[in-house]
Structure 1
Amino acid sequence: MSTIDVEQTRKTWRRDAQERRDRIVAAAQDEFAARGVDASLEKIARDAGVAIGTLYRHFPTRLDLLLAAFAPRLREFADGADQARRIDDPWEAFASYLENLFRVQAGDRGFNDFLSRRFPGNAEIERIHDRICEQIEDVLGRAQDAGVVRPDLTMADIVTLIWSNGRVIDATSTAAPTAWRRHLHLMLDAYRAPRAHPIPEPPMTEQQLYDAMVDLHAAD
């Protein structure tokens, strides 16, 4: 076989491998969106027209596949987050950031799971979660410093809202797919500083919050 033939064969292999990978990611996006992050990998492989071993050769773990499947959602979220954080008004920046977060959450059950949990088995997913938390703390801190958001609101309270909003999305996605916006804005109204009254229960600590998010993943 000539050098030209060998190189052409290699290009064909690479192209075929890329096509198989693309089919796996597309099937994973559909299945995770419909059934959440615990969707069957075997069904994803079947839908992609590949053997389960081929799926694992491209994505050794479920978390590797999650990252590839959620890449477009993460870009969509990041673009909206950047726009919200550039808003000068602290309240509008805070409210817009959360609305963007929940809008992307509402469009994909798997991404809903992704936001609600912690995945300590993957350093890149942990980094993404840490970055989202930093952004929330930034817009929340700005609003609190401006005196427009109650001073006792914490990251744990926002994550609790993500959890509750996830259940609202699950319950209403077919009958009333935008009902989550009413729930969000009712809660935003409760977050305004003039609405603040003493709360008898302290917020979760950072460690309690992290453990709860890991336990949520482990329990499913």
Structure 2
Amino acid sequence: MPAVEPAPPSRRDARRNRELLITHARTAFVEQGLTASLEGIARSANLAIGTLYRHFPHRTDLLVAVYGATLREFLGGIESTLDSAGPWDGFRAFLDVLCSAQVGDRGFSDFVSRRFPGDERTEALHNRLCQLAERALAQAQKAGVVRLDVTNADLVMLLWAGGKIAEVTGKVAPGAWRRNLHVALDGFRATGGDALPGPPLDDAQLYQAMARSND
């Protein structure tokens, strides 16, 4: 007697499975970062890994489903802040909001600070974030409140440092990252400090560094 093919899931079941996968992926990414096991995510949702891949053929598809709307809302909030604040307050608020978004969510920290070459959705979001960073920095430098040799790459490296600090101190001193941020902010001020050693990363080097962090 020929085997009976299982019936395809109904649309309602498919929607339920997709939402289950997003929910369990969010939990895994928050705790483990973007390299969380996809097999583990499927298993925690009591679904087969094949079901996950049917909904999300690539890891970036799942990342966008979990964090895309959050990052768009986050970028909108930054833009509103820059529209309403003065040059120094806007620059400081931009970095504070950017760094604080990493606290307690390793996945969002990874998502904000990395590049995913070849994915138009994430590239568009990260390009917008870079444009806002350039705007915050340019306004502050034009107003003479931030030193002229600071570049976008310096802000990204501060983001990387803040993310690591938040990760390793989160359980024992949740606010430690903010102290480090304010030390860095004093270093960014246009107060005639020592010249910075070495050249900054150029745009191509920064992009490569952000993309390599996914290896």
Residue 202 of structure 2: aligned partner: 205
Matched residue type, 1:144: Q
Q: Is the 8 A contact 1:80 1:100 kept in 2?
A: no
Matched residue type, 1:23: L
Residue 3 of structure 2: aligned partner: none
Matched residue type, 2:84: I
Matched position secondary structure for 1:121: coil
1:79 deviates by 4.1
Distance 1:81 1:195 in 2: 29
1:181 aligns with 2:161: no
1:167 aligns with 2:164: yes
1:41 aligns with 2:38: yes
1:216 deviates by 1.8
Q: Under a length normalisation based on structure 2, what TM-score does the superposition of the two structures give?
A: 0.91
Of the three residues 43, 51, 56, the one matched with 2:53 is: 56
* RMSD, aligned α-carbons: 1.6
Matched residue type, 1:62: R
Residue 4 of structure 1: aligned partner: none
1:27 aligns with 2:61: no
Residue 152 of structure 1: aligned partner: 149
Any idea what the Cα deviations from partners look like across 1:85-125, whole Å, max 9, x if unmatched?
12231100111111111111113101111122211031111
Any idea what the Cα deviations from partners look like across 1:110-166, whole Å, max 9, x if unmatched?
111112221103111111111100000001100000000111110110111111111
Distance 1:80 1:188 in 2: 21
Matched residue type, 2:49: I
- 1:91-110 equivalences in 2 (<5 Å): 91-110=88-107
1:198 deviates by 1.2
- 1:131-142 equivalences in 2 (<5 Å): 131-142=128-139
Distance 2:73 2:199 in 1: 34
After the TM superposition, which segments of 4 or more aligned residues of structure 1 sit over 3 Å from their partners?
none
1:75 deviates by 4.2
1:76 deviates by 4.5
Residue 217 of structure 1: aligned partner: 214
1:195 deviates by 4.6
Moved more, 81-90 or 47-56: 81-90
User: Between Structure 1 and Structure 2, how many residues are aligned?
Assistant: 208
Runs of at least 5 residues in structure 1 that lack an aligned partner in the other structure: 1-9
Q: Under a length normalisation based on structure 1, what TM-score does the superposition of the two structures give?
A: 0.89
Residue 5 of structure 1: aligned partner: none
Q: Is the 8 A contact 2:75 2:129 kept in 1?
A: no
Matched residue type, 2:151: T
- 1:63-74 equivalences in 2 (<5 Å): 63-74=60-71
Q: Is the 8 A contact 1:156 1:209 kept in 2?
A: yes
Percent identity between the two aligned chains: 47
Distance 1:85 1:116 in 2: 20
Q: Is the 8 A contact 1:84 1:94 kept in 2?
A: no
Matched position secondary structure for 2:10: helix
Q: Is the 8 A contact 1:73 1:104 kept in 2?
A: no
Distance 2:69 2:175 in 1: 21
